[in-house]
Amino acid sequence: MKRHLKWICALLLVVILGAFGFTFVVREGTCAIVSRFGKIREVCEEAGLRFRLPWPAENVIDLDTRSQYLDSGYTETLTHDKKNVILQTYMVWKIADPSLFYTSIGDMETARQYLNDLLANAKNGVMGGYELSSLVSVKSEDIRLDEIERGIQAMVTSRARENYGIRVETVQIKRLALPNSNVESVFEQMRTERQKYVTQLLSEGERDATIIRSKADADAAQIIADGQARAAVIEAETEKRVAEIYAGAYEKNPELFTFLKRLTALEESVGDKTVLIINSEESPFSVLTDKQKRHD
């Protein structure tokens, strides 16, 4: 009985050693590279149980194929107009070609170092073609952050794919800062741009005000001219009517009309305190003596 128990234990030990020595498991979100004497024999990307030769004949290297996050930290770079800026960016990446990744890099920690260097070089290369106003400006149309991010991502993507078998899914600018030496110059630039904007608004306002005043003056002059023309027409019609009335009155009784006109002229020439030295023989004062002569 003891002999059978020994054989059973030995058999179990062989089975366990065989299971660990001749099989391995590929988990979800990972891939396994099977190398035989240092050379890649197989790349297993589907989850499940696989067979292998025991070590040292074959070795299994597990790689995480899920999306990875990389923060570049604060790195200083130079713009086209020679201004220092500090950019913090982040990258989302994953292994696209396990064979190339393993032969060129080997492990995830080294990959992060290589990608961080690629990201720094890409930022320097792209920002060298843009002015500081592309990052900081009072004019929204001058801001080109999206374009800069696309340029950095394009540069990193091509090199990471070709050299390391890595697919870069996104690159974004996380934070922007300025060295203390550049803060005042940036503020001065922003003040200058804002003053240009204010000057432009004032010029446009003055121009519009001049146009409005000119139109108002033209409209007022036209209204006055129309009023004067209308008044002249009314005055002419009134004088015409008065002349017609006077003519009718004169035709009916010329002597009475003449007398009344002289009397009216006399009334208009004197007031309550008027003292006149006149020649009673001259018109219109002759009306005073004409009446006396008629009585004589």
pLDDT tens figures, 129-165: 888 878 877 677 888 888 888 999 999 998 999 899 9
| Residue 190 belongs to some domain of the structure | no
List the domain range (segments joined by +) for residue 285: 256-295
- Domain shared by 89 and 163, yes or no: yes
Segment among 95-99, 161-165, 176-180, 200-204 with least mean pLDDT: 176-180
> For the segment 20-31, what is each residue's pLDDT rounded down to a tens digit?
556 667 788 788
Please tell me the total count of domains within the chain.
Answer: 3
Q: Are residues 25 and 92 in the same domain?
A: no
Q: Residues 184, 186, 191, 197: what is their CA dihedral angle, to the nearest 10 degrees? A: 180
Q: Average pLDDT in the 78-100 region?
A: 86
Residue 247 lies in a domain: no
97 is a domain residue = yes
pLDDT at 2 > cutoff 70? no
Question: Per-residue confidence at 292, pLDDT binned at 50, 70, 90?
Answer: very low
Portion of the chain with pLDDT greater than 70, in percent: 70
In this predicted model, which residue has the larger pLDDT, 88 or 24?
88
